[in-house]
């Protein structure tokens, strides 16, 4: 971002997005291995309650700025795509659990 000379880079937003998708991956792997724990419950709480509010706010704020740079554009679209990716992963995990 420094080399591209982006004004007001979305560093904090990207950190939240990377952490969110990382936690989603970890929770998915824990669910597949049937090794649930208290930390997994905290991660699930974060994904269900906190993340929709955070990512909706990021998407709302980045909607105006999405044409500033490719980083702003990707920040907007990845935060919006969470609302599609998360239910799909839940459906897949539930389908795997029933077999």
Exposed (0-12), middle (13-18) or buried (19+): which is 65, by Cβ within 10 Å? middle
- pLDDT band for position 9 (cuts 50, 70, 90): confident
How many domains does the chain divide into? 1
Domain for residue 3, yes or no?
A: no
1 is a domain residue: no
- Sign of the alpha-carbon dihedral angle for 63, 66, 68, 71: positive
Express each pLDDT in 23-64 by its tens digit.
999 999 999 888 889 999 999 999 999 999 999 999 998 888
pTM: 0.87
What is the residue-averaged pLDDT of the chain?
89
Task: Establish if 82 belongs to a structural domain.
Answer: yes
Asked whether residue 2 is assigned to any structural domain, the reply reads no
59 and 80 in contact (C-beta within 8 Å)?
A: yes
The contacts of residue 32 (CB under 8 Å, 6+ apart) are: 93, 96
Q: How many Cβ atoms sit within 10 Å of the Cβ of residue 71?
A: 19
Is 73 a domain residue?
yes
* Residue 36 lies inside a defined structural domain of this protein: yes
pLDDT at 36: 87
Residue 46 covered by a domain:
yes
Q: Which run of H or of E encompasses 73?
A: helix 70-97
């Amino acid at each position: 971002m420094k080399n591209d000379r982006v004004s007001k880079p979305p560093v904090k937003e990207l950190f939240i997005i990377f952490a969110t998708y990382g936690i989603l991956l970890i929770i998915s792997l824990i669910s597949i291995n049937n090794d649930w724990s208290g930390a997994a419950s905290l991660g699930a709480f974060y994904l269900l309650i906190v993340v929709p509010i955070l990512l909706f706010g990021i998407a709302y704020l980045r909607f105006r700025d999405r044409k500033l740079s490719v980083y702003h554009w990707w920040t907007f679209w990845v935060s919006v795509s969470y609302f599609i990716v998360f239910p799909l992963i839940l459906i897949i995990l539930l389908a795997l659990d029933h077999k």
